[in-house]
Amino acid sequence: MQVYKVLIYKDMPISRAIDPQGDLTHILQSENISSRLSRFFTIAKKWKQKCRLGISAALADVPQPYVCLAGRSMEPMVIEQEESRRDFLILATSAVGAAGVAGAAWPFIRSWSPTADVLAQATTEVGLKSIEEGQMITVPWQGKPVFILHRTPAQVKSAQADDKATMTEPMPDAERTIKPEWLVVVALCSHLGCVPQPVGTGDYGGFLCPCHGSHYDTSGRIRKGPAPRNLAVPHYEFKDPQTIVIGKAVA
Protein backbone atom coordinates (compact mmCIF):
# COMPACT_ATOMS: atom_id res chain seq x y z
CA MET A 1 0.00 0.00 0.00
CA GLN A 2 1.18 3.46 -0.85
CA VAL A 3 2.35 5.45 2.21
CA TYR A 4 1.56 9.15 2.51
CA LYS A 5 2.87 11.52 5.03
CA VAL A 6 0.75 14.19 6.67
CA LEU A 7 1.42 16.70 9.38
CA ILE A 8 -1.35 16.73 11.90
CA TYR A 9 -1.23 18.76 15.06
CA LYS A 10 -2.60 17.66 18.35
CA ASP A 11 -4.93 20.60 18.74
CA MET A 12 -6.82 19.69 15.61
CA PRO A 13 -10.21 18.18 16.31
CA ILE A 14 -9.04 14.97 14.70
CA SER A 15 -11.17 12.50 16.58
CA ARG A 16 -14.28 14.21 15.38
CA ALA A 17 -12.97 15.02 11.96
CA ILE A 18 -11.68 11.69 10.92
CA ASP A 19 -13.53 8.48 10.74
CA PRO A 20 -10.88 5.78 11.19
CA GLN A 21 -12.62 3.68 8.61
CA GLY A 22 -13.15 6.47 6.12
CA ASP A 23 -11.05 7.44 3.18
CA LEU A 24 -9.57 10.70 2.11
CA THR A 25 -12.66 11.96 0.37
CA HIS A 26 -14.60 11.45 3.49
CA ILE A 27 -12.09 13.42 5.51
CA LEU A 28 -12.27 16.37 3.22
CA GLN A 29 -16.01 16.49 3.36
CA SER A 30 -15.80 17.01 7.07
CA GLU A 31 -16.15 20.63 8.10
CA ASN A 32 -13.60 20.47 10.89
CA ILE A 33 -10.71 19.49 8.73
CA SER A 34 -7.93 22.02 8.67
CA SER A 35 -6.05 23.44 5.79
CA ARG A 36 -3.21 21.12 6.68
CA LEU A 37 -5.26 18.16 5.54
CA SER A 38 -6.28 20.03 2.41
CA ARG A 39 -2.64 20.32 1.60
CA PHE A 40 -2.30 16.64 2.15
CA PHE A 41 -5.16 16.03 -0.20
CA THR A 42 -3.50 18.16 -2.84
CA ILE A 43 -0.42 16.06 -2.59
CA ALA A 44 -2.39 12.84 -2.55
CA LYS A 45 -4.44 13.88 -5.55
CA LYS A 46 -1.30 14.61 -7.41
CA TRP A 47 -0.35 11.03 -6.94
CA LYS A 48 -3.87 9.88 -7.75
CA GLN A 49 -3.97 7.52 -4.89
CA LYS A 50 -6.45 6.83 -2.23
CA CYS A 51 -5.35 6.63 1.30
CA ARG A 52 -6.84 4.83 4.20
CA LEU A 53 -5.84 6.60 7.31
CA GLY A 54 -4.70 4.43 10.11
CA ILE A 55 -5.65 6.81 12.82
CA SER A 56 -6.13 5.18 16.15
CA ALA A 57 -6.19 6.04 19.80
CA ALA A 58 -2.43 5.72 19.77
CA LEU A 59 -2.27 9.07 18.00
CA ALA A 60 -2.52 10.88 21.29
CA ASP A 61 0.88 9.55 22.31
CA VAL A 62 2.65 10.16 19.04
CA PRO A 63 4.99 13.14 19.33
CA GLN A 64 4.02 16.10 17.28
CA PRO A 65 4.33 17.03 14.57
CA TYR A 66 3.53 13.44 13.91
CA VAL A 67 2.53 11.62 10.84
CA CYS A 68 -0.49 9.72 9.93
CA LEU A 69 0.36 6.88 7.69
CA ALA A 70 -1.72 4.83 5.42
CA GLY A 71 -2.03 1.25 6.34
CA ARG A 72 -1.15 -0.12 9.70
CA SER A 73 2.29 1.33 9.99
CA MET A 74 2.38 4.19 12.49
CA GLU A 75 6.00 5.12 12.12
CA PRO A 76 6.29 8.89 12.39
CA MET A 77 7.59 10.63 9.33
CA VAL A 78 7.75 14.21 8.32
CA ILE A 79 7.38 15.95 5.01
CA GLU A 80 10.80 17.51 4.74
CA GLN A 81 9.75 20.14 2.29
CA GLU A 82 7.13 21.30 4.78
CA GLU A 83 9.63 21.38 7.61
CA SER A 84 12.26 23.46 5.88
CA ARG A 85 9.63 25.89 4.66
CA ARG A 86 8.33 26.26 8.20
CA ASP A 87 11.82 26.63 9.63
CA PHE A 88 12.61 29.31 7.13
CA LEU A 89 9.44 31.24 7.95
CA ILE A 90 10.04 31.01 11.68
CA LEU A 91 13.65 32.08 11.27
CA ALA A 92 12.81 34.96 8.95
CA THR A 93 10.02 36.19 11.20
CA SER A 94 12.25 35.97 14.28
CA ALA A 95 15.07 37.82 12.52
CA VAL A 96 12.78 40.65 11.45
CA GLY A 97 11.31 40.75 14.94
CA ALA A 98 14.73 40.85 16.60
CA ALA A 99 15.93 43.60 14.27
CA GLY A 100 12.79 45.58 15.05
CA VAL A 101 13.26 45.21 18.80
CA ALA A 102 16.94 46.17 18.54
CA GLY A 103 16.05 49.23 16.48
CA ALA A 104 13.33 50.27 18.89
CA ALA A 105 15.68 49.78 21.86
CA TRP A 106 18.33 52.11 20.46
CA PRO A 107 16.62 55.41 21.39
CA PHE A 108 16.11 54.10 24.92
CA ILE A 109 19.76 53.07 25.23
CA ARG A 110 21.02 56.32 23.74
CA SER A 111 18.85 58.35 26.12
CA TRP A 112 21.33 57.40 28.85
CA SER A 113 24.29 59.03 27.07
CA PRO A 114 25.33 62.59 28.02
CA THR A 115 22.72 65.13 26.99
CA ALA A 116 23.36 68.19 24.84
CA ASP A 117 23.54 70.55 27.83
CA VAL A 118 26.01 68.28 29.58
CA LEU A 119 28.17 68.18 26.45
CA ALA A 120 27.94 71.97 26.17
CA GLN A 121 29.71 72.45 29.50
CA ALA A 122 32.80 70.75 28.18
CA THR A 123 35.39 73.49 28.80
CA THR A 124 36.65 75.37 31.84
CA GLU A 125 38.83 78.47 31.82
CA VAL A 126 41.33 78.94 34.65
CA GLY A 127 43.51 81.92 35.53
CA LEU A 128 46.98 80.89 36.73
CA LYS A 129 48.23 84.25 37.92
CA SER A 130 47.36 83.78 41.59
CA ILE A 131 48.89 80.31 41.93
CA GLU A 132 52.25 80.65 43.65
CA GLU A 133 55.11 78.29 43.02
CA GLY A 134 54.55 75.09 44.99
CA GLN A 135 50.85 75.83 45.28
CA MET A 136 48.10 73.62 43.93
CA ILE A 137 44.45 74.32 43.21
CA THR A 138 41.57 72.05 42.35
CA VAL A 139 39.11 73.19 39.71
CA PRO A 140 35.97 71.44 38.48
CA TRP A 141 35.88 70.43 34.81
CA GLN A 142 33.00 68.37 33.44
CA GLY A 143 32.04 67.60 37.02
CA LYS A 144 35.50 66.18 37.70
CA PRO A 145 38.21 67.72 39.86
CA VAL A 146 41.37 68.86 38.04
CA PHE A 147 44.63 69.50 39.90
CA ILE A 148 46.63 72.47 38.68
CA LEU A 149 50.04 72.37 40.33
CA HIS A 150 52.61 75.12 39.99
CA ARG A 151 55.61 72.83 40.34
CA THR A 152 58.78 73.92 42.12
CA PRO A 153 62.08 73.34 40.28
CA ALA A 154 62.72 70.46 42.69
CA GLN A 155 59.44 68.77 41.75
CA VAL A 156 60.14 69.23 38.04
CA LYS A 157 63.61 67.84 38.50
CA SER A 158 62.43 64.79 40.39
CA ALA A 159 59.73 64.11 37.78
CA GLN A 160 62.22 64.37 34.92
CA ALA A 161 64.82 62.33 36.76
CA ASP A 162 62.31 59.50 37.14
CA ASP A 163 61.58 59.31 33.41
CA LYS A 164 63.77 56.23 33.18
CA ALA A 165 62.41 54.51 36.29
CA THR A 166 60.33 51.33 36.11
CA MET A 167 56.69 52.31 35.86
CA THR A 168 53.32 50.72 35.17
CA GLU A 169 52.67 53.18 32.38
CA PRO A 170 56.01 54.74 31.38
CA MET A 171 55.76 58.25 29.96
CA PRO A 172 58.38 61.04 29.99
CA ASP A 173 57.43 64.08 32.03
CA ALA A 174 57.82 66.28 28.96
CA GLU A 175 54.89 64.54 27.30
CA ARG A 176 52.66 65.22 30.26
CA THR A 177 53.15 68.97 30.44
CA ILE A 178 53.04 71.92 28.07
CA LYS A 179 55.20 74.08 30.32
CA PRO A 180 57.25 72.08 32.83
CA GLU A 181 56.25 74.27 35.77
CA TRP A 182 52.53 73.60 35.24
CA LEU A 183 51.13 70.15 35.89
CA VAL A 184 47.47 69.79 34.91
CA VAL A 185 45.91 66.39 35.66
CA VAL A 186 42.41 65.04 36.18
CA ALA A 187 42.36 64.28 39.88
CA LEU A 188 40.61 60.95 39.61
CA CYS A 189 42.52 57.83 40.48
CA SER A 190 42.60 55.47 37.51
CA HIS A 191 41.77 52.66 39.88
CA LEU A 192 38.23 53.46 40.95
CA GLY A 193 37.86 57.20 40.58
CA CYS A 194 38.65 58.56 44.05
CA VAL A 195 40.23 62.00 44.33
CA PRO A 196 43.90 61.64 45.35
CA GLN A 197 45.25 63.79 48.15
CA PRO A 198 47.28 66.95 47.39
CA VAL A 199 50.89 66.93 46.26
CA GLY A 200 53.41 65.69 48.80
CA THR A 201 51.23 62.93 50.27
CA GLY A 202 52.49 60.03 48.14
CA ASP A 203 55.70 58.04 48.40
CA TYR A 204 57.25 59.75 45.35
CA GLY A 205 56.55 63.30 46.44
CA GLY A 206 53.28 63.25 44.52
CA PHE A 207 49.71 62.25 45.20
CA LEU A 208 48.32 59.43 47.34
CA CYS A 209 44.90 58.00 46.63
CA PRO A 210 43.42 57.34 50.06
CA CYS A 211 40.90 54.77 48.88
CA HIS A 212 43.09 51.91 47.82
CA GLY A 213 46.60 53.19 48.31
CA SER A 214 47.85 54.19 44.85
CA HIS A 215 50.91 56.45 44.79
CA TYR A 216 51.44 58.97 41.98
CA ASP A 217 54.64 60.96 41.48
CA THR A 218 55.02 64.71 40.84
CA SER A 219 54.14 64.11 37.21
CA GLY A 220 50.95 62.24 38.16
CA ARG A 221 52.37 58.92 36.99
CA ILE A 222 51.35 55.76 38.81
CA ARG A 223 54.30 54.35 40.74
CA LYS A 224 52.81 52.01 43.32
CA GLY A 225 49.44 50.45 44.16
CA PRO A 226 46.48 48.97 42.33
CA ALA A 227 45.78 51.77 39.82
CA PRO A 228 46.45 50.66 36.24
CA ARG A 229 47.22 54.04 34.64
CA ASN A 230 48.69 57.48 35.23
CA LEU A 231 46.48 60.40 36.22
CA ALA A 232 44.96 61.57 32.94
CA VAL A 233 46.22 64.80 31.41
CA PRO A 234 43.18 66.56 30.01
CA HIS A 235 43.27 68.41 26.73
CA TYR A 236 44.19 72.01 27.59
CA GLU A 237 45.63 75.06 25.90
CA PHE A 238 47.27 78.25 27.03
CA LYS A 239 44.91 80.99 25.95
CA ASP A 240 47.53 83.47 27.12
CA PRO A 241 50.56 82.90 29.39
CA GLN A 242 48.35 83.38 32.49
CA THR A 243 45.21 81.46 31.44
CA ILE A 244 44.46 77.90 30.39
CA VAL A 245 41.32 76.46 28.83
CA ILE A 246 40.70 72.86 29.84
CA GLY A 247 38.72 70.64 27.48
CA LYS A 248 37.57 70.83 23.92
CA ALA A 249 34.34 72.43 22.88
CA VAL A 250 31.90 69.77 21.75
CA ALA A 251 29.60 70.56 18.87
Active site residues: 212
The amino acid present at 69, given as its one-letter code, is L
> What's the closest the beta carbon of residue 195 comes to another protein, in angstroms?
4
> Considering beta carbons, is residue 100 or 114 the nearer one to another protein?
114
Nearer to another protein, 115 or 130 (CB): 115
Q: Which is nearer to another protein, 205 or 225 (CB)?
A: 225
Answer yes or no: are the C-beta atoms of 77 and 62 closer than 8 Å.
no
Residue type, 139: V
Sheet strand arrangement including 124-127: 124-127, 243-246, 236-240
- Binding residues vs another protein (CB under 8 A): 109, 112-115, 118, 138, 140, 142-145, 168-169, 188, 190-196, 210-213, 225-229
In angstroms, give the least distance from the CB of 194 to another protein: 4
Q: What 8-state DSSP symbol labels residue 131?
A: -
CA angle 122, 214, 224 (to 5 degrees): 125
For the bound state, the minimum distance from the C-beta of residue 202 to another protein, rounded and expressed in Å, comes to 11
We find the least distance from the C-beta atom of residue 214 to another protein, in angstroms, to be: 9
Q: Which is nearer to another protein, 65 or 226 (CB)?
A: 226
Distance CA 200, CA 146 (A): 16
Is the torsion defined by CA of 78, 81, 83, 86 positive or negative? Answer: negative
Query: Nearest 5°: CA angle at 246, between 240 and 248?
Result: 105
